[in-house]
Amino acid sequence: MGVMIDGIYHVDDPGQGTGSDGSFQRAKSTLRHWIAADGSSGFAPEKGRYHLFVSRNCPWAHRTLLARLFFDLEEDISVSVARPRRTDQGWIFDGDGPFSDPLLGASAIHEVYARQRPEYTGRLTVPVLWDKKTEQIVSNESADIIRMLGAFGKGITLCPETLRQSIDDWNGRIYAGFNNGVYRAGFARTQEAYDKAVAEVFALLDSIESHLESSTYLTGDSFTEADLRFFPTLVRFDVAYHYAFRCNLRRLTDYPHLWNYARRIYHMRGVAQTVDFDVYKQGYFSPSEARNPLGIVPAGPIIDWALD
């Protein structure tokens, strides 16, 4: 993926996280300013001020596109979409077309990070929330970006105070066991690390399948931030993680309640337009010495997301 050290891009990341036991260790996001409703943080929720850099392949970026949709901010926050396959330059943009950067004209996401002051050191991830006014990155942490977009005050909430503790609890469980769990399985470097990670992925799915027997959404009858954070990994599961990351004990379609739950979200207004199964396959089956050395993208699976 590459890394930035003191504002200089390096193709090889010397700190790419693998534990001594062969387990995948995700680096923490380091740019975490905040948009405050009253602007006291220096970042106010102003229409047209902010821009998202994303890739449709990335589930963390998908979260922010969903938040932009649900908070009705598609006219307020502009977007640049990177190509689904990374190169030795990391996430890259075309000169024009759907995978271009109309805001800064960047050819790669590291060029966006290079504009950060003081000079940035760290991994080069999406999403990135950019402030056009001060010309700097507000945040590269998707969980923070989702909550910040709620500050735009359109009377829409995905995290009501009465459910905050329940939402936070679900977010923690789902991140550890599923959102990041599939990566811990897919990037494991030992059999033991893989076995541990994949067992945790399916233990969580089994538990949520039972929970959804009596609950429409994770926290009850209302769609919340917890569901928004769960969905991007679910929608990629059968076309990407099941095969490319060897999370293959069961498919999402093998879970009746989870499958109905995922399709119900997919058919909410505008959600299907944020989903691209072909892009997911291109991204997750991109050339990888460890997982897919020839870079061959499979034809299937063909999955019908229509509601019964």
What positions carry a catalytic annotation? Answer: 58, 183
Are 67 and 149 in contact by the 8 Å Cβ rule? The answer is yes
CA angle in degrees (0–180, nearest 5) for 186-54-120: 90
Omega before 287 within 30 of 0, i.e. cis: no
Tell me the three state secondary structure of residue 31: coil
Distance in angstroms (rounded) separating the CA atoms of residues 219 and 161: 13
Distance in angstroms (rounded) separating the CA atoms of residues 211 and 217: 9
Q: Considering just the CA atoms, what is the radius of gyration of the chain in Å?
A: 19
Q: Which long-range contacts (CB under 8 A, 24 or more apart) does 6-13 make?
A: 6/119, 6/121, 7/114, 7/116, 7/119, 7/120, 7/121, 8/119, 9/89, 9/110, 9/114, 9/124, 11/88, 11/89, 13/123
Distance in angstroms (rounded) separating the CA atoms of residues 150 and 207: 29
Distance in angstroms (rounded) separating the CA atoms of residues 293 and 287: 5
Residue 92: beta bridge partners?
108
Distance in angstroms (rounded) separating the CA atoms of residues 293 and 89: 18
